[in-house]
Structure 1
Amino acid sequence: MIDWLIATIPIIKSVHIAGLIIWCGGLLAMPMMLGRHRPADTADDYRQIRHATHMTYTICVTPAAVITVIAGTWLIFLREAFVPWLFAKLAFVALLVVAHAWIGHILAQIAEEPEHHQPPKAIYPVIAALVPMLVILTLVLAKPALDGITFPDWLLEPRGAQLPFDVPSR
């Protein structure tokens, strides 16, 4: 069982990274798609853009976000990664989820007003998504020690409860 779990770590990591690329790319692209609307365009043209962004959000970006979070959670437990930089990363993942929900709210709000075709300012949702993305990327690549931040011991090690499967040791 342990050998099988160790063999799946690269696959799960690949799924996590692929989902993250789709998720982050969609969060950046959708507000910019809406922001490209020109006032001279017809309401029907804007309806097509709204429909495309809505379908992208519901069929592509949100499932990618769910897959990314699930795969990342599996990686935490399979790798027994209970390190301070990871907790900082998870805080920024939570901010990315908030940005995801906010962009979804903007898309839903625009869809509810079909006669109104004034696009929102794309820069605010893009910044709300881009800042956590850059911090997460920096934390993952640098893996800083974060020695100045103290965490309680119970947060840095498994709590003694057994998972429903064997976790490989390092």
Structure 2
Amino acid sequence: MTIVIAIIKGVHIAAIALWAAGLIALPLLLSEHRRGHGQSEYQRVRRFTHYGYTHLLTPAAVIAVAAGTALLFLREMFVPWMFAKLVLVGALVTLHAWIGGLVVRMGEHANKRQPSPVMPLLFLAIALSAGILFIVLAKPDYVVLFPEWMTSPRDRQLPVEEVPIW
């Protein structure tokens, strides 16, 4: 079983590295779309962005999430830092979808639309990837994330007489 976990972990790490690199590279490719480029230049950049997103970036994201989910259950990693990581992964998936929307929009508007600014997308991709890496490597204690009064019982009665039944 440990060899299976090691293989899945290797696939997960490789897919995440490819996914994160793609989320950084694709906005840079999108910035190459310029109004007034010739048709051949537009087709070249459009082909790179479209195929990069659909044939490389999205499969890497699906493999990363699937392998991560398998590891979550195989290793039984139901700890607070993992839930913080999953929140950041959810944000990374949202960024992935946003970039996909930009790729589609650039294709729909042909060579008539200037691309969105690249720096916010790059900053988000780098910040989310670095945040995930930090949480995975540091495995911070949840006490750091929440104050003491939220993590310990208060030994008080509920403010209602009867506990609601759903």
Tell me the TM-score range normalised by the shorter chain. Answer: 0.7 to 0.9
Q: How much has 1:151 moved relative to structure 2?
A: 7.0
Q: Which residue of 1 aligns with 2:124?
A: 128
1:25-40 mapped onto 2 (5 Å cutoff): 25-37=21-33
**2:162 paired residue number:** none
| Residues 38-77 of structure 1 mapped to structure 2, 5 A cutoff | 41-77=37-73
1:21-170 alignment, distance < 5 Å: 21-37=17-33, 41-148=37-144, 149=146
Offset of residue 135 of structure 1: 0.6
User: Highest Rg: 1 or 2?
Assistant: 2
Separation (CA, whole Å) in 2 of partners of 1:60 and 1:151: 42
Change in Cα spacing, 1:151 to 1:29, as seen in structure 2 (3 Å) is: farther
Shift of 1:50: 1.5
Q: Once the 2 structures are TM-superposed, how far is the Cα of residue 120 of structure 1 from its aligned partner?
A: 2.3
Percent identity between matched residues is 43
Determine the C-alpha separation between the residues in 2 that align with 1:100 and 1:122: 14
Gaps of 5+ in 2: 153-166
Q: CA deviation at 1:46?
A: 2.3
Contact 1:84/1:151, CA 8 A, preserved across alignment: no
Change (3 A) 1:151 1:95: farther
Q: Give the TM-score normalised by structure 1.
A: 0.80
CA distance in 2, matches of 1:113, 1:44: 16
Q: CA deviation at 1:40?
A: 6.7
> Could you list the runs of 4 or more consecutive aligned residues of structure 1 that deviate by over 3 angstroms after TM superposition?
36-41
Aligned partner letter, 1:10? A
Report if the CA contact (8 A) 1:23-1:64 is conserved.
Answer: yes
TM (norm. structure 2) is 0.82
- Quote the RMSD (CA, aligned, Å): 1.9
Q: Matched residues in 2 for 1:98 and 1:111: separation?
A: 20
Count matched residues: 148
Structure 1: segments with no counterpart, 5+ residues = 153-170
Larger RCO of the pair (alpha carbons < 8 Å, separation 6+): 1
